[in-house]
Structure 1
Amino acid sequence: MASSPYTDLDRPPLSARALQRALVVPGGMWHRVDVVGETGSTNADVAEAARNGAAEGLVVVAERQVTGRGRRDRQWVSPARAGLTLSVLLRPGLADADRGWRPAPQRAWGWLPLLAGVALMEAVQRVAEVDASLKWPNDLLLEQGKAAGILAEVAGDAVVVGVGLNVTTRPEELPETTGLPATSLRVAGAKSTDRDPLLRALLRGFARWYGGWRETGGDAELCGLLGAYRRGCSTLGRDVRVLLPEGGELTGAATTVDGDGQLVVRTADGVERRVSAGDVLHVR
């Protein structure tokens, strides 16, 4: 009997050939989809490709990532083929005459990780058929806890957006956390944990939202992204504690997300503060 090419039968490898054929299409956004068995960090790989002149639309997917990280340099750990770990290359500051896209102003680039969050939430809801929401700015929440994180980094005139989603991770494989507990689609009882259609849905949704965002010059409200984000953000309407990057914290009620993607927090004295970066803890 021939040995299996992978040891865990509910964790089949992704087919780069099938993904390339499905996603790299004439007039489409994605021009190359690479699937690697193992890498240190897909964000680092794509950032290096960006510095070497790679065009917008590169996707790098890793079956196993050994030095992945999230915000505040937190480590993102997942067993081989148990999740989706990928990064995409964007060049929002460059015009695209073929598509009629003018450069998006750099002040609008902060919307890109939120855009990725909306695309991921929609893909999970549609393919896995589980309830999902976003904790500002871009953590994917299921009822049981956090299932995914998104990290965007600027590399010269490019933006690299990385996504890490727990798919078939078992309870005993989930890392211990000091904040929200980690979870996976499997733990949440997803109808499907097939990574291939999840990845296709994510990248197609990302391309659709990104195209609309670019067509409007990076206007999140005009392209509908702001409304979609607000509808999917479970942070809004809650009392929150925000750990600020410069130190200190802010507490109050999260009232909305503004046109720049900032979280608006009303403090106990009635003052509205806008937060562009920080770790949010849901108090209730």
Structure 2
Amino acid sequence: MTPSCPAPPTPPRFPGCRVPTTFEDQGEMEFAGRASMQVFEGFYATVRVEDVLGGRRVVKAFHRPGTAAREAVALAALGRMTPPWIAVPKLIALQREGDREVMVQTYVPGVPLAEATPEPSSAAAHALAEQVVDVVTHWHAQEGAAFEDLRGGTHADFLASYSADVRDLGSWLEEADHIDPGLRERIRGTARAVPDLLRPLADDPPVFIHDDCHAGNFLVDPEAFVLTGVIDPGAARYSHRELDLFHLADAAEGLRLWERAVARRPLARGASARRGLFRIWDDVKHARATGWWDDEWFLRRVGAFERL
């Protein structure tokens, strides 16, 4: 039997990030004066972009309970931690639509960076890529008091924090009998590399991370090729900067975002292997939260890590 989805992690606490803690029942959420609507099916939510009286807004109806409040806290934190000239959606309301939790937020103009990349060798591409790295560097310049795990626990060092997450996710894997047993054990086996791979990071401080900063979550003016906004924080919290950086290699490869970030501030030895490890367990995190699973996807991830 496939295990049920566990309750979402407790969101980290950020001073000044106050969001509603209750949901208002809106039925079908009929907005007066709605002129048009676009609908996108996302990993975590059905997303509607609506034109209503007073302007455009984004409505996210989450597939799993408990996700909306966590994302609202992360969004508020992202707004505080991001440079003021880069737009971040603002929470309008937390509501219910039938049995689904809904987050209504302001609209940020732009298209995903992964869909609007200029010619990679052009000056525009270079400038745009540097803007992205500037924003990520800005996040990572803001230090926290402790490393936070995905459940909201705090730890004195990154090894303890990340090990707690891997143990938690590994327990879910152990009960997930819809996963091929051999593949499951290969994934869990990667955890044995955690102490050695994270040891070079022992002296690094906890910093603010977006937690899902792939190219699709940076928005761009498709004509001027200027960064306009950042959206969809994952489990934004204080942790190690490499948990952000590995996402930079996942899309818009022509911009070489990972390479640019590493060139600006070199990483400790073992960075390529850590990137492979982080990719695997980040995908396990998404699988637990959404119910998604793809054997072939994980076989490729694990195989690539084992060949390092």
More strand by share: 1
Which protein has the larger Cα radius of gyration, Structure 1 or Structure 2? 2
What's the TM-score, normalizing by structure 1?
0.27
TM-score (norm. length: structure 2): 0.26
> Which fold has the larger relative contact order, with Cα–Cα distance below 8 Å and residues 6 or more apart in sequence?
2
